[in-house]
Amino acid sequence: MKIICIARNYSEHAAEMGAPQFERGSKEAVSPAFFLKPDSALLLKNQPFFYPEFSHQVDHEVEVVVRIDRVGKSIEERFAHKYYSSVALGIDFTARDLQREAKAKGLPWTLSKGFDGSAVISDFIPLAELGGDVQNLTFSLLRNGETVQSGNTSQMLCSVDRMISYISDFMLLRTGDIIYTGTPSGVGPVAIGDTLEGILQERHILQCRIK
């Protein structure tokens, strides 16, 4: 399975990263930057995250995650909704210091984004149980009980259907592939001893302890 992650899909997060700003519907928004994590990055529910020795700044990025449940290639945007039916909440852990270094050297983000445990994932929930509209899901992340990130998928620059269409122009999508759809603003570092909790549509579905 592939773990696909969309970059800069919420404008306030792009702003906090000092990344270029663009409008919904612009060329940049409809052809979003994306990257991959290996399947070994998955951290299943209730497993602790062990802080890696190679980084001094691991940031949380809470994201709504869509699971592909049909094989598809060059999927038209208007048919993309037929390729998923459940969503989860995930954390795209990022070794921000390594990412900064990679950006400065023009190198890929593989090390900063693809390390073991960097893809936290909750159980998947049928979209129908969450109101049925993938572009109207409220989600947030609490760090030690305090809300640090909150957003709604209506704020995405590139919609889920559009990203599926775009990605599938380049890569065959297979059943079980998952897409991290981008993080809202408020990303920040975690520390050993922290507890992170994720809420999707008022459901507490994700918990992750940092060890």
Kindly tell me which of 74 and 159 has the beta carbon lying closer to Mg ion.
159
CB 198 within 8 A of CB 89: yes
Least distance (Å) between residue 141 CB and Mg ion: 12
Q: Which of 61, 161, 177, 197 binds Mg ion (CB under 5 A)?
A: 61
Least distance (Å) between residue 178 CB and Mg ion: 13
User: Does 149 sit near Mg ion (CB under 5 A)?
Assistant: no
Least distance (Å) between residue 93 CB and Mg ion: 9
User: Does 59 sit near Mg ion (CB under 5 A)?
Assistant: no
Q: Which of 55, 118, 168, 183 binds Mg ion (CB under 5 A)?
A: 183
Least distance (Å) between residue 62 CB and Mg ion: 9
Q: In angstroms, rounded to a whole number, what is the distance separating the alpha carbons of residues 84 and 75?
A: 12
Kindly tell me which of 64 and 75 has the beta carbon lying closer to Mg ion.
64
User: Does 177 sit near Mg ion (CB under 5 A)?
Assistant: no
What is the secondary structure of the chain as a DSSP string?
A: --EEEE-S-SHHHHHHTTPPP--TTSHHHHS--EEEE-GGGEE-TTPPBPPPTT-S-EEE-EEEEEEE-S-BSS--GGGGGGGEEEEEEEEE-EEHHHHHHHHHHT--SHHHHSSTT-EEE---EEGGGGTS-TTS-EEEEEETTEEEEEEEGGG-SS-HHHHHHHHHHHS-B-TT-EEE----S--EE--TT-EEEEEETTEEEEEEEB-
Q: Which of 92, 161, 177, 197 binds Mg ion (CB under 5 A)?
A: 92
Kindly tell me which of 165 and 185 has the beta carbon lying closer to Mg ion.
185
User: Does 181 sit near Mg ion (CB under 5 A)?
Assistant: no
Stretch that binds Mg ion, among 45-53, 72-80, 86-94, 98-106 (CB under 5 A): 86-94
Least distance (Å) between residue 49 CB and Mg ion: 15
- Separation in Å, CA 128 to CA 85, 140, 157: 8, 20, 23
User: Does 161 sit near Mg ion (CB under 5 A)?
Assistant: no
Give contact residues for Mg ion (rule: CB under 5 A). Answer: 61, 92, 183
